[in-house]
Structure 1
Amino acid sequence: MRYLLISFCFFFVGCASYPENNNFIKREISDLVLKNTYFSDKQKDYIYKATINVNDKPFGGVFIVKKIRNNNHRVVFTTEMGNKIFDFSFINEDFRVNYILEDLNKKILINILKKDFKVLIEESPLFLNAFSSNNYAVFETKIYDKRHYYYTISNQIHKIVRSGKGKEKVIFTFKNTDNFIANLIKIEHKNLKLTINLKSI
């Protein structure tokens, strides 16, 4: 009987949502706005020195994001010499692989990169709920049917968490932000050997 009670406790704790597990306080959403401006300027090429570690294998080079028009971005990763590693297009909800290096041409990996980069470029994600957590206003959103939590201060995004079963699955951190440009970006997967580090150049 005691074992059964303990099992039920673990079951309910495990099923708690991400906001519940982090003691978020629900907020009214009528006066709140969520906007991701980090890759929103069509006049600018966003260029980063990048390191992508996949299964302990590092790929270094230059990461470029270009907004072509509304809801249309190009994401390109090249070597320092300019040889393409991958080249993706996002047009509305469509995703296109223009090129990818053979070593990375795995359907699972491409799908993961698609989801990660969609989060980076999505300017107006589907806004579901709002919360407070310490000094942050936290927005619950949905991208590709996955829950994401945007941690913001003064309308500036500092962190995004993709959650699953109430836990952190992927953490996006934005540092050294200046004029709505994130000079340092890190994408860290908790259950995969995949990290992406970007430094503006």
Structure 2
Amino acid sequence: MIRFLAISFLAIVTLASCSLKTTEGLRQVHFNKEAVGNPYFSNPEIDYVYKAKIEVYKKNFGGILIIKKTGPESHRVVFTTEFGSKLFDFQFEGDTFTKHFIVDDLDKKFIVNILKDDFRLLVNEKAQVLAVYESENHRIYKTTSGDRFNFYFLEDETEQLQKIVNTTKTKEKVEIDFTSHEGNIADFISIKHKNIKLSINLEKFKNE
């Protein structure tokens, strides 16, 4: 009896440790939507300009971030100081990533890979849906990205994208939060990592 209880307890602990908080308490529902979209950087006629703050392991970088859609599956992401000195310049074309430039302080392989993954997730416009969940106020679309998953949180009434959570099978890794008052343009964007000291905060640039 004691052995049975011990095995049961271990099984419960193992299952709890393997469950994602992202889907905890959510109800899985049937769906007929094949793809979920991110509209915030989809217009090639707009230069998306943000005041940016990037914190990487106690190093802080501030300036202007510009995101430009340059083709059907292409985006250019450029980060400069307020005086115009370039900090990094990335290009995404489908699955191809090009590092045109990055300052020495950020030019570490693991940092470049993290920034690459963050901005690829940020500008990716469509992802194939694997499953759909419902909460009180959101419909959550599960998608896949390599050996990880992305969960897109869309507000029920407006169907506006409010959050993307990037996970492994058992742990949340990155969260992107969007605040938008103009529909398809995000006014504020926050990118936070759960297990490393890297965060990115973007505020839509307003012409004075």
* SS of residue in 2 equivalent to 1:40: coil
CA RMSD across the alignment: 1.7
The list of structure 1 runs, each at least 4 consecutive aligned residues, that deviate by more than 4 angstroms after superposition, is: 2-5, 17-20
Larger Rg over CA atoms: 2
Does the 8 Å CA contact 1:18/1:165 hold for their aligned counterparts?
Answer: no
Shift of 1:163: 1.4
User: Runs of 5+ in structure 1 lacking a partner?
Assistant: none
Match of 1:6 in 2: 9
Are the structure 2 counterparts of residues 9 and 37 from structure 1 closer, same or farther at C-alpha, using a change threshold of 3 Å? same
* SS of residue in 2 equivalent to 1:23: coil
| Equivalent runs, 1:34-53 vs 2, <5 Å | 34-53=36-55
TM-score, structure 2 normalization: 0.90
Are the structure 2 counterparts of residues 190 and 19 from structure 1 closer, same or farther at C-alpha, using a change threshold of 3 Å? closer
Q: Distance in 2 between matches of 1:145 and 1:81?
A: 40
TM-score, structure 1 normalization: 0.93
Match of 2:115 among 101, 113, 117: 113
Are the structure 2 counterparts of residues 170 and 31 from structure 1 closer, same or farther at C-alpha, using a change threshold of 3 Å? closer
Match of 1:63 in 2: 65
- Partner deviation per Cα, 1:84-134 (whole Å, 9 max, x = no partner): 111000001100100011111111111111111111111111221111012
Percentage identity across paired residues of the two chains: 38
User: Runs of 5+ in structure 2 lacking a partner?
Assistant: none
* SS of residue in 2 equivalent to 1:112: helix
Confirm or deny that 1:134 pairs with 2:136.
yes
Shift of 1:142: 1.4
- Partner deviation per Cα, 1:43-69 (whole Å, 9 max, x = no partner): 000000000000011100001100001
Q: Matched residue pairs, number?
A: 200
Shift of 1:19: 5.7
One-letter amino acid of the structure 1 residue matched with residue 176 of structure 2: F
